[in-house]
A and B are shown apart, each in its own frame.
Chain A
Amino acid sequence: MNTNTQTITRNDVWEATISLLEQLAEDWDFGEEITGDTLLFTDLGFQSLDAVILGNTLQERFGRPIPFATLLTEIGQRSVNDVTVDEWVDFTTLSLQAATSVN
């Protein structure tokens, strides 16, 4: 997909994340549309391990490390322990771009 010399855009991450989530949601018989406002834990019923697996798969797709442990720790300290698809995509995009900017 992407290589280290290309810039990864938010749209790349959005498309990879949504297509992965839609594919998985079909396995769970989740009928509703997944949007930027969908909450991973409350709406999709994620547990922390689900988030780790999703994060690792995206990491594989883009061939670069993403510090999802940092995000999960931070979510754990929020008053509402959840994250929207938009926030997830923002975080992933920033991580990938930060990894590129120091290459």
Chain B
Amino acid sequence: MTKKTILVGLDGATFTLLDPFMQQGVMPFLKSFVEQGVRADLRSVTPPLTPPAWTTVLTGRSPGHHGIFDFFQADGPGSTTIRLATSGDIQVDHVAELVNRAGQRASVINFPVHFPPLPIDGAVIAGWMPWRQLRLGCYPPDLYDRLKQLPDFNPRELAMDMALEARATEGCDEDEYVEWVGLHIRREERWLEVLNYLSDNDPTDLTAVLLDGPDKVQHLCWRFLDPALWPAQPTAEETRIREASIGYYRRLDTILAALVEKAGPDATVVMVSDHGFGATTEVFHVNSWLEQAGYLAWSQDVSDELNEGDTLGMGHLSRHSRWLDWDRTKAYVSTPTSNGIHIVRAEQHDGRGVAAADYAAFRAELIEALLSYVDEDGKPVIAAVATREDAFDGPAGALAPDLTLTLRDGGLVSILPADPILAPRPQPVGTHRPLGVFMAAGPGIRQGAAIGEMSLLDVTPILLHSLGIQVGDDLEGHVPTGLYEPEYLANRPVDVVTRGDAGKVQPAKSAGQVIYDEEAEAVLMARMRELGYVE
């Protein structure tokens, strides 16, 4: 039996903020939604980062199986060059594909790692797209032209305008905070317009949409939002920024109300975040720590490049590959977004790095050194170190970092050279935390119940069960029994099916995922040299 099901992703939403907002009347709709449904803490993946976490939500598989670990992806096992992760890197079935296979339709709107869009029966609009290329992130191919006809359609607001986004990482003055919040209010309004259009003109059994404003607003405005950080005597300016920031949640509440009303009383609505949020108060310069500990050496180019300033971001992605002296580097961090340390393996780097026979001992020594690193007061800085087997067990884990750090303040590392290695931030800023939110309401779902901690892995099974589709036994999560009224679940039990071969890792789905082999690259480089492209 088909039952319309809506998944609303709220990137970075946390009960640390939502609970006071529900109590204080900022989010009256959400308050009534939770009173009529079930809530739970929702545990994220390691690391609690947007791309791997949403991929887990939409596949029901952990990163070691689905293959997404960061915004970026190594070109191959042991490769020191990285590129943006694409949908072709996802190694398992997407929930939309499972839904299609059961004869139902799905729309998947604004999630990361969805470019190029999967050709599903329904609609896809990829998230994290530059606004100029949003057309290329839409499926079916005529979707963008249909959306263009909407009265308030504005791709600059729907998708990414790098000129506006760049501000998220820098401190800004009052006007810029207010403008930043306003941009995200307008963005959610544009997405509501798109969803209303699809619901009226091309309704699907499953609709999944990501609203990423909570994450974006919280990264920048956390100290104005977190009750624990709010000063007893705020300045007038601080109060104005707080009011503007809270304005985002007031508007979000009415947008959620509109989405749920549009879905109708018979629909099941599930709201989840990919991770929680908290404050980070310091910066750990991990590559400089590795240098000081004797594991890494910088190349000559670093200071030249840093002095030159930004070069439009070109070649920026793999800049660490130019910055490091590969004859003397055994471990390094290539992205500032996943706290992952890669160990240079001799068998992958012409004998440079750590020999296979020494790997286990080397890694154990490095973990020991990381955990022993202390600040001036003798307090450990690194709370935990996960090995690849701990964090990314599974056939797709070969591209994952060898070690993943959890810092004591929950923050992300810096990969730039710096002295001192550990520096306090001028102001606390928002960063991810492992516990996000789960809220659901609909037919058969218990009313006003808080249930025990759930996992991101449980979301796909819940969506499939709600749609009346069998749940494959390759999925790693399950439908919590406490979610439903016992009689309802008795009449509608979770139908777990053995998937056999279908549950195994699928072959590469996209050309982008194929590794460009070395011989082909050598031919190419020779021809490029002839044409004067390469010196």
Q: Quote the shortest CB–CB distance from A69 to chain B (angstroms).
A: 5
Does the CB pair A94–B316 fall under 8 Å?
no
Cβ < 8 Å to B, chain A residues 57-77: 57, 59-60, 62-77
Partner pick for B162 among A49, A64, A70, A101, CB 8 A cutoff: A49
Partner pick for A101 among B133, B137, B511, B520, CB 8 A cutoff: B520
Q: Does B465 contact A (CB under 8 A)?
A: no
* A49-B130, A52-B84, A91-B533 known; A76+B314 contact, CB < 8 A: yes
Chain A CB within 10 Å, residue with most, of B130, B144, B148, B510: B130
Partner pick for B115 among A23, A48, A56, A75, CB 8 A cutoff: A56
- CA of A27 to CA of B534, assembled, Å: 34
Q: Does A8 contact B (CB under 8 A)?
A: no
- What residue of chain B has the Cβ atom nearest to residue A23's Cβ? B135
- CA of A40 to CA of B113, assembled, Å: 24
Chain A residues contacting B510 (CB-CB under 8 Å) are 60
Chain A residues contacting B137 (CB-CB under 8 Å) are 53
Does the CB pair A56–B314 fall under 8 Å?
no
* A28-B132, A48-B316, A57-B116 known; A81+B521 contact, CB < 8 A: no
Q: Quote the shortest CB–CB distance from A57 to chain B (angstroms).
A: 5
- CA of A54 to CA of B517, assembled, Å: 22
- CA of A51 to CA of B519, assembled, Å: 25
Does the CB pair B512–A24 fall under 8 Å?
no
**Mask for B317-337, Cβ within 8 A of A = 1, else 0?**
110000000000000000000
Listed by A's residue number, 30 A-B pairs whose Cβ atoms lie within 8 Å are A20-B136, A24-B133, A27-B132, A27-B155, A28-B132, A41-B314, A49-B160, A52-B83, A53-B115, A56-B512, A59-B511, A59-B512, A60-B116, A65-B512, A65-B516, A67-B516, A67-B521, A67-B524, A71-B533, A72-B314, A73-B314, A73-B315, A73-B318, A76-B311, A81-B314, A87-B533, A94-B528, A95-B524, A98-B527, A101-B523
Chain A residues contacting B83 (CB-CB under 8 Å) are 52, 68-69
Cβ < 8 Å to B, chain A residues 1-58: 20, 23-24, 27-28, 41, 45-54, 56-57
Chain A residues contacting B528 (CB-CB under 8 Å) are 74, 91, 94
* A69-B81, A101-B523 known; A27+B135 contact, CB < 8 A: yes
Does the CB pair A56–B312 fall under 8 Å?
no
Chain A residues contacting B84 (CB-CB under 8 Å) are 49, 52
**How many A-B pairs with Cβ below 8 Å?**
127
Q: Quote the shortest CB–CB distance from A49 to chain B (angstroms).
A: 5
Chain A CB within 10 Å, residue with most, of B83, B144, B148: B83
- What residue of chain B has the Cβ atom nearest to residue A56's Cβ? B512
- What residue of chain B has the Cβ atom nearest to residue A46's Cβ? B132
Partner pick for B314 among A45, A48, A60, A65, CB 8 A cutoff: A48
- CA of A94 to CA of B83, assembled, Å: 20
Chain B residues contacting A94 (CB-CB under 8 Å) are 524, 527-528, 531
**Mask for B489-521, Cβ within 8 A of A = 1, else 0?**
000000000000000000000111011110111
Chain A residues contacting B134 (CB-CB under 8 Å) are 27
Chain B residues contacting A102 (CB-CB under 8 Å) are 517, 519-520, 523
**Mask for A80-103, Cβ within 8 A of B = 1, else 0?**
010000010011001100110110
Q: Does B86 contact A (CB under 8 A)?
A: yes
Does the CB pair A69–B317 fall under 8 Å?
yes
Further pairs besides A74-B315, A81-B312: 17, Cβ < 8 Å: A24-B132, A27-B132, A41-B314, A47-B313, A48-B316, A49-B313, A60-B510, A62-B511, A68-B83, A76-B311, A76-B312, A76-B314, A77-B315, A91-B528, A94-B528, A98-B523, A101-B520
- CA of A56 to CA of B128, assembled, Å: 14
Does the CB pair B116–A56 fall under 8 Å?
yes
- CA of A64 to CA of B510, assembled, Å: 9
Q: Does B129 contact A (CB under 8 A)?
A: yes
Q: Quote the shortest CB–CB distance from B68 to chain A (angstroms).
A: 16
Does the CB pair A64–B511 fall under 8 Å?
yes
Does the CB pair B315–A50 fall under 8 Å?
no
Chain B residues contacting A98 (CB-CB under 8 Å) are 520-521, 523-524, 527
Chain B residues contacting A77 (CB-CB under 8 Å) are 315
- CA of A90 to CA of B521, assembled, Å: 15
Partner pick for B531 among A27, A28, A67, A90, CB 8 A cutoff: A90
